[in-house]
Amino acid sequence: MNSLLKEKYGALPVVEAMIFSSENPLSIEKISSILEISKEEVEEIIKLLMQEYNFNNMKGIEIVEIGGGYFFRTKIPYAPFIRKIVMGKESDLSKSAMETLAIIAYKQPITRAEIEHIRGVDSSNPIRSLLEKKLIKIMGRKDVPGRPHVYGTTKEFLKAFGLKDLNELPNLKEIKDMIEQPQLKLLGEDYENKDSENNS
Amino acid sequence: MNSLLKEKYGALPVVEAMIFSSENPLSIEKISSILEISKEEVEEIIKLLMQEYNFNNMKGIEIVEIGGGYFFRTKIPYAPFIRKIVMGKESDLSKSAMETLAIIAYKQPITRAEIEHIRGVDSSNPIRSLLEKKLIKIMGRKDVPGRPHVYGTTKEFLKAFGLKDLNELPNLKEIKDMIEQPQLKLLGEDYENKDSENNS
């Protein structure tokens, strides 16, 4: 093994530890300056780590890049189990509640009328359910006729989805996959989304 | 592969994701009840995960058990690099400051006289240095003659060491190793503890 490779693999565990521990997504520049190794080397190491985690079905966590920063996150299909740690039996969310929650997460602060405009259906049930589960809260009122409530997500929402802050939200494609996948194949069983619009 | 093994390995990534995401150390009982698999199976999976992380030099993080709960933590030798993410150039700590910080972390709230009794030497310099770096703070006064200040660790201390709370502190043997190791062999270079008592 040449000395470049030796150095590269030598820094891999510390890069992993840094990305794991950082409060905020960590940039290649910052890692490079702290470890005093080249940006190219850091980039190469992060690629190796992403191969190891992201494309390996036996890994439950992955490294994600947002705005030039890297961080570890639970893989999307496992999110329902993370919610159960935080919320217990309260964690089951209907498809309509998940959809409403995703819209609120990305568009907050948002009114019920705006949510219903996007979804195309009455959303008072999922909003009430999300309020009860403390995943959303009333953030104030919008300065339009009728002064309707505006909704936003809570700290409990971040905890329940294993996020440090809203910047770590999955992108819309991932959210769509999560809502639309009819069942999660895990543990050799099929975990179906059994809730319907009615019991949301 | 028999069906038991299939189930066992099937649950491994979700157990990894749960331990990674949990705010608090996660017990075998809780994982077992959420996933609806036996405690023995969870135990076996955690053993596999610990083998994969803890005893592999190419891993920068490890799974640690405290009081029956499991959580991921940065491996001890990488702690100085984690501190640099949070504190920048302020992160260098002399051996005496590390020693004083460890005593305060485990014995807080503690007075300067009590620290000096344990260390056997004057500790005003390391205490001042730790106060300046915001790793410790004055928590109040002790109700004894002279009403001396008592010191404790800060939120910045937790961040700088990649800990969620004080329960995640390494045990005293690990701390001792960290303070006493004369040099860290990383990245093919020797990172020496260059500070002396004087510049603490």
Residues in chain B: 200
CATH code of the domain containing B121: 1.10.10.10
- Nearest C-alpha of chain B: how many angstroms from A116? 32
Could you read off the pLDDT of B90-123 as tens digits, one per residue? 778 888 998 999 999 999 999 999 999 999 999 9
Beta strands A69-74 and A183-186, pairing class: unpaired
Q: A92 with A57, same domain?
A: no
Q: B140 with B168, same domain?
A: yes
Listed in sequence order, the residues at least 6 apart from A33 whose beta carbon sits closer than 8 Å to its beta carbon are none
At A8 the pLDDT is 55
**Angle separating helix axes B112-119 and B95-107, nearest 10 degrees:** 120
Nearest Cα to Cα of residue A19 among A60, A59, A50, A57: A50
Listed in sequence order, the residues at least 6 apart from A146 whose beta carbon sits closer than 8 Å to its beta carbon are none
Confidence of residue A125 (pLDDT cuts 50, 70, 90): very high
Q: A97 with A70, same domain?
A: no
Could you read off the pLDDT of B53-95 as tens digits, one per residue? 999 989 999 999 988 999 999 998 888 888 888 787 777 888 8
Chain B residues touching A9 at Cβ < 8 A: 58
Chain B residues touching A190 at Cβ < 8 A: none
**Angle separating helix axes B79-87 and A28-35, nearest 10 degrees:** 120
**How many alpha carbons fall within 13 Å on the CB side of residue A137?**
9
Probe site for chain A from B85, B86, B157 (most A CB atoms < 10 A): B85
Buried b (16+ CB within 10 A) or exposed e, B147-157: eeebbbbbeeb
The DSSP-derived string for A120-145 is SS--HHHHHHHHHTTSEEEEEE-SST
Cross-strand pairs, B65:
B70
Chain A residues touching B14 at Cβ < 8 A: 60, 78, 81, 186-187
- Please give the residue that has the higher pLDDT: either B41 or A173: B41
- Nearest C-alpha of chain B: how many angstroms from A138? 25
Q: How far apart are CA A193 and CA B167, in angstroms?
A: 37
Beta strands B149-153 and B110-111, pairing class: antiparallel
Q: B69 with B81, same domain?
A: no
Q: How far apart are CA A194 and CA A134, in angstroms?
A: 21
At A7 the pLDDT is 55
Q: A66 with A151, same domain?
A: no
Write down the H helix ranges in A60-110: 79-87, 95-107
Residues B104 and B110 sit within 8 Å (Cβ to Cβ): yes
- Domain-terminating residue out of B29, B50, B74: B74
Chain A residues touching B186 at Cβ < 8 A: 10-11, 14
- Nearest C-alpha of chain B: how many angstroms from A83? 9
Closest residue, chain B, to A188 (C-alpha): B7
Q: A12 with A107, same domain?
A: no
Could you read off the pLDDT of A58-104 as tens digits, one per residue? 999 999 998 889 999 999 888 888 888 878 777 788 889 989 999 99
Q: A25 with A40, same domain?
A: yes
Q: B52 with B119, same domain?
A: no
Probe site for chain B from A14, A27, A74 (most B CB atoms < 10 A): A14
**Is the pLDDT assigned to residue A149 strictly greater than 90?**
yes
DSSP 8-state class, residue A4? H
Instruction: Please indicate if any CB of chain A lies within 8 Å of the CB of B21.
Output: yes
Q: A64 with A96, same domain?
A: no
Range of the domain at A64: 3-74
Q: B96 with B64, same domain?
A: no
Q: State the total domains in chain A.
A: 2
Q: How far apart are CA A76 and CA A98, in angstroms?
A: 13
Nearest Cα to Cα of residue A94 among A80, A113, A73: A80
Instruction: Please indicate if any CB of chain B lies within 8 Å of the CB of A29.
Output: no
Q: A180 with A88, same domain?
A: yes
- Domain-terminating residue out of B26, B47, B74: B74
Q: A157 with A88, same domain?
A: yes
- Domain-terminating residue out of B24, B55, B74: B74
Confidence of residue B186 (pLDDT cuts 50, 70, 90): very low
